[in-house]
């Protein structure tokens, strides 16, 4: 089913370099280039043109794929040069006609996805021995500059014309929605007054002033452009240790079934359209490699990497293609021994493939945290919420645990639950769950490597409710029906407020502000009304504002 008027068919989140329409990924030793050359007529929708390297969801899906492939397939790459393939323009940001004609839900989910992609760049810089150079061969506006500041360094061509800008406030009546305002203050740490000016000057800031204000890191005249890009890329690469040389090719993820039943190798999703629910199940196999060499030999078929890639795609499809689903029931099945064995591997350092897989698991778990869906973990007969799978349950809004002595239900703890997968707030899900009773965390971690019966798991605080076999079905059914009856808007706001307790970070600010700012501002008449700035952009009409401050 189509998510919005802007998209003619369900969005596909799988691609590969051979299928890219808008990017070219090339490597030369330890330096890679991501060339952005957005094809005018090849947007996800058929009623807008992707002018001036503006982007839609399809462009960002390719970028996300390229980042993942650089991490897994090209561990030897130390510097990634992100640059534009058009004359005098790097990227004009998100396509305005696409945004204007999209549903509100799609706009916010689009901003969320592009945020996650830019955070993936920063995550690769932090964890994957890579640095990113934004080589701005022309003007970078809005989301184009937001892409640039996700990189480690920014080089701007000095041609007296090219600028960096955030034109959203003066031209569109909205905000730089991909973490733009947060990154110039919290990441670049620019002065507040200069940020204020920059964010209200539609034409942006050029050349020497952009350099002086810290909006870019270097300038190069057009006559020396290629040499300067090469020089900076080489210097950035040399500042890092050499990477591995044995990359892993990411195989395509196959899915069977129909619109309401998705079946992968380790993940399945059954959708009940009438109830507005989905049952998302992940299953561990009966056996698995016991050491790093065995895992590496299986490459992208290693079950945990494959399963998490499948889970990641299922979550994205639920977000974008199934807006009707409000509540996702999370289940885990299979061998707890397999999960415990795999977790012991994931907790080890020293093998780049193991570490990279661990980082991918962490990013996939964050997709749950950031999704505008309610999540209930359901632990009943045959459940396997153990270790990494326990993290899935801890990411849920509630955990329902069956306490039935006739059909023993177990949950398990492993080393990964001690903080191997920190949330956006920088701490573990256990630490976040027990902020008010931190002594509960070491009491739980004492059981690492073990399985816990339902009564013990409940006593340790791992369940929200643990009904017995007599009350189980009715209590779970009523909880599901109640959740489905609530306002989805109120639930999204409530969940976003509750999920990120604890320390504030740039990442929590980005997603917290996205949920609040964009959910509100994208709906306001000053932006989205008949004479709002977003509606009038590109037309002969001038926007008409209600100037009451709220």
* Helix, strand, coil fractions of the chain, as percent rounded to 5: 45, 20, 40
Q: If residue 84 lies in a helix (H) or strand (E), which one and from where to where?
A: strand 79-84
**Which residues sit opposite 83 in a β-bridge?**
35, 135
Judge whether 516 lies within some domain: no
Same domain, 212 and 260: no
Distance from C-alpha of 13 to C-alpha of 27, rounded to nearest angstrom: 23
Judge whether 511 lies within some domain: no
Helix, strand, or coil here: 164?
strand
Same domain, 234 and 274: no
Pairing outcome for strands 131-136 and 153-158:
parallel
> What's the sign of the alpha-carbon dihedral 307, 309, 315, 321?
negative
Judge whether 67 lies within some domain: yes
- Residue 436 CB contacts under 8 Å (≥ 6 apart), including other chains: none
Decide: 205 and 105 in contact? Cβ < 8 Å: no
Q: What is the pLDDT of residues 300-317, one digit of tens each?
A: 999 999 999 999 999 999
Q: Listing from the earlier edge strand, what are the strands of the sheet with 23-28?
A: 23-28, 31-36, 79-84, 131-136, 153-158, 218-221
Greatest alpha-carbon pair distance for the chain in Å reads: 78
pLDDT for residue 8 = 52
Distance from C-alpha of 472 to C-alpha of 466, rounded to nearest angstrom: 8
Same domain, 172 and 32: yes
Judge whether 331 lies within some domain: yes
Q: Among the three residues 187, 205, 238, which one is the final residue of a domain in this structure?
A: 238
Calculate the CA 448 to chain-centre distance.
29
Same domain, 336 and 470: yes
Same domain, 93 and 181: yes
Helix, strand, or coil here: 519?
helix
Give the structural domain span for 226: 17-238
Same domain, 344 and 379: yes
Measured from the Cβ of residue 125, the count of other Cβ atoms closer than 10 Å reads: 17
Q: What is the pLDDT of residues 104-122, one digit of tens each?
A: 889 889 999 999 999 999 9
Same domain, 272 and 188: no
Decide: 58 and 38 in contact? Cβ < 8 Å: no
pLDDT for residue 105 = 86
Judge whether 3 lies within some domain: no
Distance from C-alpha of 207 to C-alpha of 163, rounded to nearest angstrom: 7
Distance from C-alpha of 452 to C-alpha of 355, rounded to nearest angstrom: 28
Same domain, 219 and 288: no
Same domain, 367 and 436: yes
Judge whether 528 lies within some domain: no
pLDDT for residue 65 = 98
Query: Model pTM?
Result: 0.95
Same domain, 219 and 360: no
Domains of the chain: total: 2
Decide: 375 and 395 in contact? Cβ < 8 Å: yes
Question: Which stretches of the chain drop beneath a pLDDT of 70?
Answer: 1-8, 518
Same domain, 383 and 304: yes
Give first-to-last CA distance, the chain, whole Å. Answer: 37
Judge whether 40 lies within some domain: yes
Q: Among the three residues 205, 238, 271, which one is the final residue of a domain in this structure?
A: 238
Q: Among the three residues 211, 238, 265, which one is the final residue of a domain in this structure?
A: 238
Same domain, 304 and 179: no
CATH of the domain at 369: 3.90.226.10
Q: If residue 83 lies in a helix (H) or strand (E), which one and from where to where?
A: strand 79-84
Judge whether 48 lies within some domain: yes
């Amino acid at each position: 089913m189509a998510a919005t008027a802007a998209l003619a068919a369900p969005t596909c989140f799988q691609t590969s370099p051979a299928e890219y329409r808008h990017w070219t990924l090339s490597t030369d030793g330890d330096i890679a280039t991501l060339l952005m050359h957005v094809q005018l007529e090849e947007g996800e929708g058929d009623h807008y043109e992707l002018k001036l390297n503006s982007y839609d969801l399809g462009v960002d899906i390719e970028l996300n794929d390229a980042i993942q492939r650089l991490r897994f397939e090209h561990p030897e790459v130390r510097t990634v040069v992100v640059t534009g393939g058009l004359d005098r323009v790097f990227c004009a940001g998100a396509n305005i006609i696409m945004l204007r004609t999209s549903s509100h839900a799609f706009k916010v989910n689009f901003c969320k996805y592009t945020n996650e992609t830019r955070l993936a760049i920063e995550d690769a810089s932090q964890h994957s021995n890579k640095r990113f150079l934004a080589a701005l061969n022309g003007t970078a506006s809005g989301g184009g500059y937001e892409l640039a500041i996700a990189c480690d360094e920014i080089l701007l061509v000095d041609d007296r014309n090219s600028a960096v800008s955030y034109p959203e406030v003066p031209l569109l009546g909205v905000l730089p929605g991909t973490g733009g305002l947060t990154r110039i203050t919290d990441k670049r740490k620019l002065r507040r007054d200069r940020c204020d000016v920059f964010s209200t000057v539609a034409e942006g800031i050029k050349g020497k002033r952009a350099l002086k204000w810290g909006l870019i890191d270097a300038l190069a005249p057009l006559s020396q452009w290629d040499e300067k890009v090469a020089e900076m890329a080489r210097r950035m690469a040399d500042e890092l240790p050499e990477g591995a040389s044995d990359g892993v090719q990411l195989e395509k993820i196959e899915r069977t079934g129909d619109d309401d039943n998705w079946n992968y190798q380790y993940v399945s999703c059954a959708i009940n359209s009438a109830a507005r629910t989905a049952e998302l199940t992940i299953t561990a196999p009966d056996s698995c490699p016991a050491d790093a060499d065995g895992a590496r030999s299986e490459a992208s078929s290693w079950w945990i990497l494959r399963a998490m890639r499948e889970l990641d795609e299922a979550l994205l499809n639920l977000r974008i293609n199934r807006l009707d689903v409000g509540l996702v029931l999370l289940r885990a099945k299979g061998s707890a021994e397999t999960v415990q064995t795999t977790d012991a591997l994931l907790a080890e350092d020293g093998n780049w493939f193991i570490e990279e897989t661990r980082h991918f698991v962490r990013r996939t778990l964050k997709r749950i945290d950031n999704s505008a869906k309610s999540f209930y973990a359901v632990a009943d007969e045959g459940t396997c919420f153990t270790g990494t799978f326990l993290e899935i349950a801890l990411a849920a809004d509630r955990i329902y645990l069956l306490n039935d002595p006739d059909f023993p239900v177990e949950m398990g703890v492993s080393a990964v639950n001690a903080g191997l997968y920190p949330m956006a707030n920088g701490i573990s899900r256990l630490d976040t769950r027990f902020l008010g009773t931190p002594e509960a965390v070491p009491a739980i971690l004492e059981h690492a490597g073990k399985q816990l019966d339902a009564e013990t798991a409940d006593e340790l605080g791992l369940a929200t409710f643990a009904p017995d076999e007599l009350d189980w079905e009715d209590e779970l059914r009523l909880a599901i029906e109640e959740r489905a009856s609530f306002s989805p808007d109120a639930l999204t706001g409530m969940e976003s407020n509750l999920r990120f307790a604890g320390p504030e970070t740039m990442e929590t600010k980005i997603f917290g502000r996205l949920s609040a700012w964009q959910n509100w501002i994208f709906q306001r008449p000053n932006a989205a009304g008949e004479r709002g700035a977003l509606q009038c952009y590109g037309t002969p009409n001038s926007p008409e504002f209600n100037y009451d401050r709220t």
